[in-house]
Amino acid sequence: MTNSYEYIEASINGNLGQITLNRPKVLNAINRPMVSEILSAMEGFEENEQVRVIVLSGNGRAFAAGADIDEMANDNAIDFELRNQFKDWDRLAMIKKPIIGAVQGFALGGGFELALCCDLLIAADDAEFGFPEVNLGVMPGAGGTQRLTKLVGKTKAMEWLFTGKRISAQEAIQFGIINRMTAKEVLLEETLKFAEGIANQAPLSIRLIKESVLKAVDAPLDEGMHFERKNFYLLFSTEDQKEGMKAFQEKRRPNFRGK
Ligand code: CAA
C-alpha cells in the first residue's frame, strides 16, 4: 500500500498493517482529517486478506497530545451536532481485526481515547496517559469517560477525569490500562514482535474472540454468554479449526489460513 495520506503514514509489512500518526510538530494533535485518514487506512487493512493485525503508533516524542485544540477552539455545540463530530470514531470501534497501540510520551485527551480504542497497548516507560479536558473547561467526547470507567472502574476514572492528572506507564500497568511496558528505544520493535505472535494465531479465532470480549464489556452476562457460544459454534465451520486440531493430534505446528 502506498502512503497517500497527509497526517498519517500507512504501510503493510508482512501480516501487519501499520499506521503512524504523523504530525510530530504538534505532538500528533488529532484533527478531523487525521481521524478520517486513520479510519480509511484501517478499513483498507480490514479488507486486505494479507493483514492480520493492525499496529498504531505515533511519530516523534508523543503518541498524541489530544484532539487539535486549534481546530475546535471556535466551534459551538451545533457545529459538532451538524458535523456529527464523532462519526469516524464510531466506525473505528467497528474494526474487526485486532489493533495494537504502541504509546510513547503523551497520550492525552483524544490521544488517550484513541489508545483506548486499541485492543492491546504496549507503552514505553516514558508514556503518560491522561484526560486534561477538565483544564480546558470541557470533557472527553470520543468515548473517554465510558471506556476508561469500564476499564478501571468508577473510583479511579472519576479521580483522573476530575483532576486531569497524568497516569504514568507504571500506574497504567498497575490498573490494567496497558499490557506491557518497554524501554522507549525498543517500543516499536517489541510491539511488532508482539503483533507478529498474534498474527500467527488462527485469524478467525482472533476475530470472534475480539467480538466476544467487546461484547462482555457492553452486554449483560447472559447476553454475552449467548453471543460467545454462537461464535464458538461458528469456529467449528472453519478449515482452521480442522487444521488446528489435526495438527495437535499429529504433533506439528498448525498452518492457519483464515478460512
Ligand atoms: N492541539 C493542538 N496543538 C497542540 C496540542 C493539541 N492538543 N498539544 C500540543 N500542541 C502543540 C503546541 O501548541 C505546540 O505547538 P507550537 O510549537 O506551534 O507552539 C507543540 O504542539 C508542542 O507542544 P508544547 O510546546 O506545549 O510541548 P510541551 O512539551 O511543553 O507540552 C503538553 C506538552 C503537556 C502535551 C502540552 O502540549 C499540552 O498540554 N497539550 C494539550 C493537551 C490537551 O489538553 N489535550 C486535550 C485536548 S482536548 C481533547 O482531546 C477533546 C476530546 O476528547 C475530543
pLDDT in tens, 122-171: 999 999 999 999 999 999 999 999 999 999 999 999 999 999 999 999 99
Angstrom distances, CA of residue 21 to CA of 64, 86, 92, 217: 8, 18, 15, 27
pLDDT of residue 12: 98
- Tell me the CA–centroid distance for residue 53 and ligand 1, in Å: 30
| Residue ranges for the chain with pLDDT beneath 50 | none
- Alpha-carbon distance of 156 to 18, in angstroms, equals 32
pTM of the predicted model, to two decimals? 0.95
- Tell me the CA–centroid distance for residue 166 and ligand 1, in Å: 14
For ligand 1, atom 40, name the residue with the nearest CA.
65
Strand partners, 12: 17
* Residue pair 181/128 in contact by the 8 Å Cβ criterion: no
Neighbouring CB atoms inside 10 A of 97's CB total 20
- Tell me the CA–centroid distance for residue 258 and ligand 1, in Å: 42
For ligand 1, atom 53, name the residue with the nearest CA.
140
Q: Please indicate whether residue 143, judged by its CB atom, sits closer than 6 Å to ligand 1.
A: no
Which active-site residues does the annotation give?
Answer: 67, 110, 113, 133
- For the chain, how many residues are written? 259
pLDDT of residue 199: 98
Query: 3-state DSSP call for residue 217?
Result: helix
pLDDT of residue 1: 53
Closest atom of ligand 1 to 108 CA is 45
For ligand 1, atom 28, name the residue with the nearest CA.
27
Q: What is the CA radius of gyration of the chain?
A: 19
